[in-house]
């Protein structure tokens, strides 16, 4: 693991045309430590890695995502990783082996509970979405209407319609979501 993280740090640093000294100044970590990290000779604390991620303009999760092999069609459950965390309440998990080269984005989304008094802002964007509720009770807002969806329920809508999701329960809500265009391929979110 340390070797993989170190290689990614070095690759990003070199691609950004930064010297070890420059990265050291940006992160307040010694050049000696950074050199050892890049060679996989030392471990790093999460907060220090977060500082490096910020300096190199990547998400912290970048250092933990395993690269996929071109032409790989299968993603094993133990290979699934976090695609992104949104608003500290939506956790998106990648369900494709190479999402950046796909038209359709498939993801598992976990919604953490929120206060029922919290206002949910609906928004439109390009594309189309399909939602399948796996677990919990999802509150879906479409065109100013509110719908409660239960396990096994689905929704399929044009994303240009104002919409959003919420979890007003005290339990986790899990969804299978597919969308076109694929934001991981550079399309709208």
- Over the stretch 132-185, which tens digit does the pLDDT of each residue have? 999 999 999 999 899 999 999 999 999 999 999 999 999 999 999 998 987 666
End-to-end CA distance of the chain: 31
What is the model's pLDDT at position 69? 52
Share of the chain above pLDDT 70, in %: 89
**Could you tell me which CATH class the domain 2-63 is placed in?**
mainly alpha
What pLDDT is recorded for position 148?
A: 97
Strands of the sheet containing 128-135, edge to edge, are: 82-86, 90-94, 105-111, 173-180, 128-135, 154-158
All CATH 1.10.260.40 domain ranges in the chain, comma separated: 2-63
Q: Range(s) for CATH 2.60.120.10 in the chain? A: 77-185
Strand 138-142 relative to strand 90-94: parallel, antiparallel, unpaired?
unpaired
- Looking at residue 23, its pLDDT comes to 94
The answer, yes or no, to whether the previous bond of 181 is cis (omega within 30 of 0) is yes
- Total-model pTM: 0.60
**Residues near 76 by beta carbon (within 8 Å), at least 6 away in sequence:** none
CATH homologous superfamily for 77-185?
A: Jelly Rolls (2.60.120.10)
């Amino acid at each position: 693991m340390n070797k993989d993280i170190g290689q990614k740090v070095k690759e990003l640093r070199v691609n950004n045309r930064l010297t070890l000294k420059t990265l050291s100044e940006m992160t307040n970590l010694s050049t000696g430590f950074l050199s050892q990290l890049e060679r996989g000779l030392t471990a790093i604390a999460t907060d220090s890695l977060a500082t490096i991620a910020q300096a190199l303009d990547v998400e912290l999760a970048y250092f933990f995502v395993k690269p996929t092999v071109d032409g790989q069609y299968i993603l094993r459950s133990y290979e699934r990783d976090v695609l992104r965390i949104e608003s500290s309440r939506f956790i998106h998990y990648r369900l494709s082996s190479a999402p950046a080269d796909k038209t359709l984005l498939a993801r598992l989304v976990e919604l953490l509970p929120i206060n029922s008094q919290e206002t949910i802002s609906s928004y439109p964007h390009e594309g189309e979405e399909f939602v399948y509720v796996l677990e919990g009770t999802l509150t879906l807002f479409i065109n100013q209407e509110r719908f409660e969806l239960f396990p096994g329920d689905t929704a399929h809508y044009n994303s240009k319609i104002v919409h959003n999701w919420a979890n007003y329960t005290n339990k986790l809500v899990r969804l299978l979501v597919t969308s076109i265009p694929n934001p991981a391929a550079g399309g709208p979110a």
